[in-house]
Amino acid sequence: MCRLNGRVALITGAGAGIGRAVATLFAAEGARVAVADCMQSSGDETVDIIAKAGGEAIFVRADVTRSADVRNMIQSTADAFGRIDILHNNAGINSPIKTIADMSEEEWDAVIDTDLKSTFLGTKYAIPVMLKQGGGTIINTASFMGLGAQAYMSSYCVAKAGVIMLTKATSAEYHKQGIRANCICPGFIMTAMTGPWAQMVDMEKAPPGTWGKAEDIAQAALFLASDDSSYMSGAALVVDGGYSAEWIVPLK
């Protein structure tokens, strides 16, 4: 317990799902938490959960696809807590389940902006704060679909592959200046966002056999945020129940 005592964590998409699980766990481990989300009601709920458990948190409203909002999110967190030790770029959306030919340009842009551009913006504006204070750690939510393509989800796969490469590039540029950057590649995690997939995926035929929980990803994020991973940077940590370890061969 208390592996994050004295640290300040900013988590995007923290109003629900993985983001909320990370925010509440980080607070339980001693961090002061900035809960960033585009929905105030959801963000306020996360802050309330943290407060009732004895933690400290604030809500910052942000559309993470907008540069001005992300810049304000970073500044508001630094103003409130004096520093940012941990940034978790977690906010994201799913791809429309369509072929490449059927996907509109607007649908493509929405996923790329929310899942990839937002990670760039968060990283871009957090780095000067972290450099000024002498370091920090950046955690990005990628996906096992960034490691291998899934039919009918091209924009999501491309965005998450980009998150993995952005993570590595961030580490390459800033590791020697005290900033670690790693990403998590979740598999099938049951959240409100992935709920529609539950009707389409036969988990009995998938290697894990069951859906993962948001708390599984939160534990991985805690490891990357803490000193337990002090020698890790530029890594893509796969948390998918073994899904990507096995090729599914269509045997007769």
Average pLDDT over residues 204-213: 74
| pLDDT at position 188 | 87
| pLDDT at position 132 | 98
Average pLDDT over residues 95-113: 96
Flag whether the pTM goes above 0.85.
yes
Rounded to an integer, what distance in angstroms lies between the CA atom of residue 26 and that of residue 224?
A: 11
Please work out, in degrees rounded to the nearest 5, the angle formed at the alpha carbon of residue 39 by the alpha carbons of 36 and 42. 85
| pLDDT at position 207 | 67
**Who wins on pLDDT, 247 or 130?**
130
Largest CA-CA distance found in the chain, in angstroms, rounded: 61
Q: What is the DSSP letter of 189?
A: B
Q: Give me the chain's average pLDDT, please.
A: 93
Rounded to an integer, what distance in angstroms lies between the CA atom of residue 37 and that of residue 52?
A: 20
Q: In percent, how much of the chain has pLDDT > 90?
A: 83
C-alpha dist (Å) from residue 234 to 30, 84, 91: 25, 19, 20
pLDDT at 204 over 90: no
pLDDT of 131-175, one tens digit each? 999 999 999 999 999 999 989 999 999 999 999 999 999 999 999
Rounded to an integer, what distance in angstroms lies between the CA atom of residue 95 and that of residue 90?
A: 16
Cβ proximity of 65 and 113 under 8 Å: yes
Q: Give the length of the chain.
A: 252
Amino acid at position 35, single letter: V
Among the options 125, 156, 174, 243, which is catalytic?
A: 156
Beta-ladder partners of 121: none
Band (117; pLDDT cuts 50, 70, 90): very high
Band (102; pLDDT cuts 50, 70, 90): very high
Cβ proximity of 143 and 98 under 8 Å: no
Average pLDDT over residues 224-245: 95
Q: Is 243 a catalytic residue?
A: no
| pLDDT at position 37 | 98
Buried/exposed 131-142: b ≥16 CB within 10 Å, e otherwise? eeeeebbbbbbb
pLDDT at 40 over 90: yes
Residue 227: partners with Cβ closer than 8 Å, 6 or more residues away: 3
Q: Where exactly are the structural domains of the chain?
A: 8-241
End-to-end CA distance of the chain: 50
Q: Domain 8-241: what homologous superfamily?
A: NAD(P)-binding Rossmann-like Domain (3.40.50.720)
| pLDDT at position 190 | 78
182: Cα separation from own chain's centroid: 10
Cβ proximity of 117 and 70 under 8 Å: no
Sheet with 179-186, edge to edge strand ranges = 56-61, 32-37, 8-12, 86-89, 136-141, 179-186, 236-239
| pLDDT at position 196 | 62
Q: In percent, how much of the chain has pLDDT > 70?
A: 90
Please work out, in degrees rounded to the nearest 5, the angle formed at the alpha carbon of residue 134 by the alpha carbons of 78 and 56. 35
Average pLDDT over residues 114-122: 98
pLDDT at 184 over 70: yes
